[in-house]
Chain A
Amino acid sequence: MARTADVVIIGGGLHGCSTALHLALRGLKPILIEKDYAGRHASGVNAGGVRQLARDLAEIPLSIASMDIWERIEELVGDNCGFESHGTVLVAESDEELAGFKARVDDLRLKGFTHEEMIDRAELKRLVPAVSDYCPGGVVSRRDGAADPFITTQAFRRRAVELGAEIVEGVTVTGLARSGANWRVETSDGAFEAPKVVNAAGAWADRIAAMLGEPVPLKVVAPMLMVTSRLPPFIQPVVILRGRKLSFKQRDNGTVVIGGGHLATPHRDSNETVIDWEKLAISARTVWELFPAMHEATIVRAWAGIEAYMPDGIPVVGRSSTSGGVFHQFGFSTHGFQLGPATGAVMAELVATGSTNTPIDGLQIERFR
């Protein structure tokens, strides 16, 4: 006997858990199936950046909707998720780069988005006193911040369960097919049936899509991060660069998390990643130049989470193009953490009502046909 639900969600990352929570809020009964445990991969081990800054136009509405949720996250999930808001600063390393940033910010204003704001050298120094003097300015998004990724994912998971969602962990999906009015989801622990299915399987989502006859060009990636031992507080906002790969933030406990998109080698069948130290050395040299205060810092840990990267760098959010009742929510291309809260709400809306008021044009799976 297959177990039945209103919706089966495949994948227990932040996105799957958020969708489960929002479906349960709407009075539906979702079952979420996770092959490891909730937050085991990218959702639990990412850099924790809660960033609206420097996003693709197609995902800005989702990002802004998410920011509204982040700012009252405790009301939603009963945990502050370690969220702290000191802004994100995109630092320009040359006048030429700064001019490019200005063009984008001006363009965003014309389109009605005001969250990105140009800052000059003086304001940059005020926001980030530790930054090297050669930087002429940058862009700030003042409401941005950072949170604890694993705690956040677990908080969404816990709240979803409290609201009636069922989370099944350590169970792998092996098949997906029509069964009358339902979808039948075969797993390593029996079958599940529901009229609706959400594919939130992250780096494994292409396998689910392939079961529906809609292959997607998903690339499995593992962006690397490293963290230092505790340092005296010296920087509040998250700092990112554009020309060179860097994201940089000091958490409240004093540790500094250094990331930016250099990639490890992922092995998605064994859940392993192999760190590429020569690329992390590039990050180390960048930090060395940008923050003289970091010269004595000690690196205590480096890691990488396995996730999906789409060829155009933006996610797949919306209906399946082949299979009625199936919805996709994957491919967040190394910047999905901030989007989790609102994307779950939008997916729940889409699943429950058939449409959503939040613009997600440009994120449909059809673009890969």
Chain B
Amino acid sequence: MTAASDLASSYDLVIVGGGPAGLAAAALAARAGVSTVLFDENPGVGGQIYRAITSTPVKDRAILGEDYWDGAALAADAKASGALIVNGATVWSLDREKIVGVSVGGKARMIAAKRVIIATGSQERPFPIPGWTLPGVMTAGGAQTALKAQGLVTQGRTVMAGSGPLLWLLAAQTLRAGGKIDAILDTTPRRNWAMAMFHLPDFMLSPYFAKGLSLLREVRAKVPVHRADTIEAVGKDKLTEVVFANGSVERRLPADLLLLHQGVVPNVNLANAAGVAHTWNDRQLCFVPVLDADFGSSVPGIAVAGDGAGIAGGTAAAERGRIAAIAAVRALRPEATLPDTQAIRQKLQREEMGRAFLDWLNRPADAFRRPEGETLACRCEEVTAKQVRDTARMGCEGPNQMKAFLRCGMGPCQGRLCGLTVTELIAAERGTSPEQVGYYRLRPPVKPITLAELASLPISEAERKAVER
């Protein structure tokens, strides 16, 4: 295990995140002779898609599917490349001078980087429905983490709800692992098909087409699927039933566990805190960093690769990581021999084909993104949708002003669970676009650190002198 004290004070390339983008970037850069460190906050590499790839207790390869095991080669390649891979390393700060704040084993260090690749991937889109904070309601991604890392399958009466390919993937993985799902509530708006159909030909050529169809068939054969345009989690101290409606017909399902998922969005916090410019992507309904063809951001020397650059999936993430790494190597070590970029770009293009179809089809309905009434928008500070809407109507123009009035986004999650909701609510109330409204200005630390960790930063020369004087 690498300890904080083992780290050098600077590296040519710092990569944040050990998913496919980070692993592929690290392997390529280290092989090209660039001093490379990869910080990953989990106990093992893999990111979310290949979580626990080196340690999962789920040994039956069929359960998690062949795509999952692709991660093993990426992990092995990165390890063999000579890149320093530090697990259990939380990066909590990055600024435009490319100073990286990282904690390992409760000790903090500031590391200087010549180049940085942010590969912090995606997070699940907030799914604010009435009752979503009840015990017994969790995200599908959370359930998938438990399956991959600990081999745990869901217990009790389980309902899954939402939209998007990952929902169906987790359903299939759960069923294969012996779990039971009582019902799936499909929230995909029917009218999305109109836009999506236009992109169906491309999608049919992409590798996701056949996989997606067979997943749907596999799950539908075993689990009743209902359409839902409203969902409510009901219970006193914990979830007891799920109430949903399709049009005017309301139905109730007794449930112990409700797994919610309506797609993933880029995890923008670190890039945002570093001053990287972002823009609203109306197809994916989220903010994405503004990037050049090499995934370089508006801050010189900082690139964003993988799903953090806009959702495209794990295979595309690896190719994006390679492209970003090639740009870093070219800047740091122009004499290095590099793989053929053109071939990588072609592979990436193939992977990204069909994305438009998935994006348009799985755009969550307005009602599931812009809650009403007493439904919580910000879980940390317990701010309701009504409060956000009322404050916007009173004249509050943006999420940063909203923070001061309601404290939404000021809790430990740093706005991860309410940022998009608050922006969209303000835009709706003020009759403007999310692009105009903007996102929270995120402040470091982007992950909470303890006072003790901060105090553990090595004492600088200047401070020592000040004390002696």
Residues of B within 8 A of A302 (CB): 443-445
B155 within 8 A of A: no
- B73 close to A (CB within 8 Å): no
Residue of A277, A278, A300 touching B411 (CB-CB under 8 A): A300
**B31 within 8 Å of A by Cβ?**
no
Residue among A295, A296, A303 making CB contact with B443, cutoff 8 Å: A303
- How many chain-A residues does the 8 Å CB contact rule pick out? 32
Q: How far is the CA of A213 from the CA of B87 in the complex (A)?
A: 58
A275 touches B404 (CB 8 A): no
- CB of B463 within 8 A of CB of A277, answer no
Asked if A287 and B451 sit within 8 Å, CB to CB, the answer is: yes
Pick the contact of A299: B96, B110, B404, B449 (CB < 8 A).
Answer: B449
Establish whether residues B460 and A278, one from each chain, have CB atoms under 8 Å apart when the complex forms: yes
Report if B212 contacts A (CB, 8 A): no
Q: Are A37 and B412 in contact (CB-based, < 8 A)? A: no
CB of A278 within 8 A of CB of B450, answer no
Chain B residues near A298 (CB-CB < 8 A): 412, 448-451
Give the chain A neighbours of B410 by CB distance below 8 A: 300-301
Tally of A-B Cβ pairs under 8 angstroms: 89
Is the CB of A274 closer than 8 A to any CB of chain B? yes
Query: 0/1 per residue, B447-469, Cβ < 8 Å to A?
Result: 01111101111011001000000
Let me know if B445 and A301 touch, CB within 8 A.
yes
Quote the shortest CB–CB distance from A154 to chain B (angstroms): 7
B463 & A282 in contact (Cβ 8 Å cutoff): yes
Contacting pair B445 A278 (CB below 8 A) = no
Does A177 lie at the interface of the complex (its beta carbon under 8 Å from any beta carbon of B)? no
Contact A300 B412 (CB under 8 A): yes
B450 adjacent to A296 (CB under 8 Å): yes
In the assembled complex, which residues on chain A have CB atoms less than 8 Å from the CB atom of B412?
229, 298, 300
Q: Flag if A288 contacts B450 (CB, 8 Å).
A: no
**Majority secondary structure, A binding face:** mixed
* A330 contacts chain B at the CB level, 8 A cutoff: no
Q: How far is the CB of A309 from chain B (nearest CB, A)?
A: 19
Cα separation A254 to B463 with both chains bound (whole Å): 30
- Cβ distance B106 to chain A, nearest Cβ, rounded Å: 12
A274-B96, A275-B93, A301-B443 known; A294+B448 contact, CB < 8 A: no
Tell me the B95-114 residues at the A interface (CB within 8 Å).
Answer: 95-97, 99, 101, 108, 110
Pick from A39, A151, A274: contact of B97, CB under 8 Å: A274
B432 to chain A, nearest CB (A): 14
**Which among B108, B450, B456 has the highest number of chain A CB atoms within 10 Å?**
B450
Residue in A150, A278, A287, A294 whose beta carbon sits within 8 Å of that of B401 in the complex: A150
| A contact set with B: CB distance below 8 Å | 37, 39, 44, 148, 150-151, 154, 228-229, 253, 272, 274-275, 277-278, 280-282, 284-285, 287-288, 294-303
- Could you show 8 A-B contacts with beta carbons less than 8 Å apart? A39-B404, A150-B401, A154-B401, A154-B404, A274-B97, A277-B99, A281-B457, A284-B451
Beyond known contacts A151-B404, A154-B405, A281-B456: 17 more, CB 8 A cutoff:
A150-B401, A154-B404, A253-B407, A275-B93, A275-B95, A275-B444, A278-B457, A281-B108, A281-B455, A287-B451, A288-B452, A296-B450, A296-B452, A300-B410, A300-B412, A301-B410, A301-B443
